[in-house]
Structure 1
Amino acid sequence: MSWKALSISMLIMTVGPAANSQEFNCQVSVIAPQIQSTPPRIWKSMETAILELMNNRRWTDRNYTPEERIEVNLLLTINEQSGMDRFSGKLQVTYARPVFGTDYNTPVIDLIDNDVDFTFLENTQIDFSVDRYQNNLASILGFYAYFILGLDGDTFSQLGGSDMYATAQQIVTIAQGASSPGWKAFEGNNNRYWLVDNQLQAVFRPLRECLYTYHRMGMDNMHSDIETSRQEIMDAIERLRTVHQAKPASYNMQVFFNAKNDELVELFKPVPTQDKSRLFTTLQIIDPGNISKYQNMMRGS
């Protein structure tokens, strides 16, 4: 049992059913810097509706204490409005996981979805169903809710997020009939379809195993054994070579390193050059987009 599951169980026994809570503590911002004609109250209404769906819905049958709620940030940028109720833009999704024994949260996902197209009426709630496509915004939010639950599960136990990814994939399947972008394989390699499809493919298993080793064996033990924890992280990153060889420049690897590159630099700056040279060699192969940062890591600057 992970320390997270153990702490949840202990708190439930201590304070009883009143401690049960929804899964997310989600912060939401809606902005429209290019649209001047729409009253700001529309964006506030949209923000409130998203917040209520994310934070008030029970997404699983698991019990979360308030302290265990998953910290998520959503930034919705509206770029275009057609008529009164149709909007398009982009959604930034970030999730950071607490590190055991510290007050530090480690970033797990930080992505921007550019395929956000939906209808919304002021002062209406967003209704979501796993089994039925009702509204594109609802499906997008539901997809990322379950994908994040999958990531969270993977960071606490080996392949612990499989059922949540399966639900996210079900949302993608049901949305295939929608005209909105982001749901179909042929639309591109970096969309919601491929994000969850890749995550469930056997070739990406080392990436999911990395999520566990990096966080549970690495970050969660930093407070007690920093050298061993760093080695666990280096070994986990090294095993990602197989993913890169099979699926070079995959969306999922980009998403992983977009969240982790700065943290990796800070973690390994103090390490002697000879001890991190293998890590640097691996990173420049599997994450070349951040090579300048990793060069700074090697210089310790």
Structure 2
Amino acid sequence: MKKILFIILMWISHGVNAQELFCNVQVNASQIQTSDRKVFQTLQTAIYEFVNNTKWTDASVKNEERIECTFLINIKEKVSNDEYKASIQIQSTRPIYGTSYKSTMLNYLDNNFRFRYLEYQSLEFNENTNLSNLTSVLAYYVYIVLGLDFDTFSEYGGAPYYIKAQNIVNNAQNAREIGWKAFESDKNRYWLVHDLLDTRYEEIHNCYYRYHRVGMDILSEKTEDGRYDITEALEELRGVYRDNPSAFILKIFFDAKADEIIKIYSEAFPNEQARIVKLLTEIDPANSTKYQAITAQSKGK
């Protein structure tokens, strides 16, 4: 009996302390001309194990609470025997309370992913130094995914993970690979975490929390109340836009949320639709044409 109880307790403990991510990893090397393609499968397996089997936080996470994400790596060029040029697309979602719906948190394509890898090479990462660009980039985006998710459950809850991501950026300032330095681009890994930690843009964290925890999580049961709080959350972004219309974090937010927002307001009252379309065309002008679909659907009824 004691043995059975011990096994049950061990099983419960394992469930509570599961790793934080449930990450689907895909490595596409169709553009590379080679007869030995096994190296790409071992790379995919190594990345999968690195991301999913590492304990990234001190948080207690149940298996069913793991954050679902996808890392899509498209290898474009084999530079040398062990070096590759690639892109990496990161997608993550957050489940919405009481529903089967999953809200997109991040959908970002990073075209500057250059790394070294030899078949069966172990992937090593150290928070205090830049051991390899492969693991630094992977760990960086893991912390961004974690930060965005934690931001939706408590105000500025993602801060510890953004700080870890920024530490990776700092460690990579002498790296020869691009994507880590401020002067290389105004939309890269440096600026993404910079914006997430910049006090000028603190409204973005209020937005992430109110949009999801106060708005989306009640939308299915209290539609009007939930939609009201989503509107108020989006209003928070007006301050970010007026401070810096080209802030990278605005693009990150709307690349993930634009289509969802259109669906949310497609059934709203006309006055709500008019208000949100006016707001969105101001703070996200790149998608202004797309947002006209909100009122167009209403007029077609």
Interval containing the TM-score (normalised by the shorter chain): over 0.9
SS in 2 for 1:80: strand
In the TM superposition, 1:123-138 aligns within 5 A as: 123-138=120-135
- Give the deviation of 1:131 after TM superposition: 1.1
Describe the shift of the 1:275–1:139 C-alpha distance in structure 2 as closer, same or farther (beyond 3 A).
same
- Give the deviation of 1:38 after TM superposition: 5.2
In the TM superposition, 1:178-193 aligns within 5 A as: 178-193=175-190
In the TM superposition, 1:247-286 aligns within 5 A as: 247-286=244-283
Measured in 1, the distance between the counterparts of 2:247 and 2:9 equals 43
- Give the deviation of 1:37 after TM superposition: 2.2
Aligned with residue 25 of structure 1, among 22, 27, 43: 22
Measured in 2, the distance between the counterparts of 1:38 and 1:243 equals 51
Task: Give the counterpart letter for 1:34 in structure 2.
Answer: Q
In the TM superposition, 1:96-111 aligns within 5 A as: 96-111=93-108
Measured in 2, the distance between the counterparts of 1:14 and 1:292 equals 55
Aligned residues: 290
In the TM superposition, 1:2-151 aligns within 5 A as: 16-19=12-15, 20-37=17-34, 39-151=36-148
TM-score normalized with structure 1 length: 0.93
> Where does residue 160 of structure 2 map in the other structure?
163
Structure 1: 4+ residue segments shifted above 2 A: 12-16, 36-40
Query: Does residue 292 in structure 1 map to residue 298 in structure 2?
Result: no
> Where does residue 212 of structure 2 map in the other structure?
215
SS in 2 for 1:132: coil
Query: Does residue 173 in structure 1 map to residue 170 in structure 2?
Result: yes
Measured in 2, the distance between the counterparts of 1:68 and 1:16 equals 14
Measured in 2, the distance between the counterparts of 1:109 and 1:241 equals 20
SS in 1 for 2:152: helix
- Give the deviation of 1:282 after TM superposition: 1.1
> Where does residue 8 of structure 1 map in the other structure?
none
Residue by residue over 1:115-149, the C-alpha shift from the partner in whole angstroms, topping out at 9 and shown as x without a partner, is: 10110011222111111111101000010111111
Measured in 2, the distance between the counterparts of 1:38 and 1:293 equals 45
Describe the shift of the 1:128–1:14 C-alpha distance in structure 2 as closer, same or farther (beyond 3 A).
closer
Give me the identity figure in percent.
38
Describe the shift of the 1:194–1:221 C-alpha distance in structure 2 as closer, same or farther (beyond 3 A).
same
Measured in 1, the distance between the counterparts of 2:198 and 2:84 equals 33
Residue by residue over 1:102-126, the C-alpha shift from the partner in whole angstroms, topping out at 9 and shown as x without a partner, is: 1111001100011101100112221
Q: Which has the larger radius of gyration?
A: 2
- Give the deviation of 1:235 after TM superposition: 1.0
SS in 2 for 1:147: helix
**Gap regions ≥5 residues in structure 2:** 1-7
TM-score normalized with structure 2 length: 0.93
> Where does residue 235 of structure 1 map in the other structure?
232
> Where does residue 243 of structure 2 map in the other structure?
246
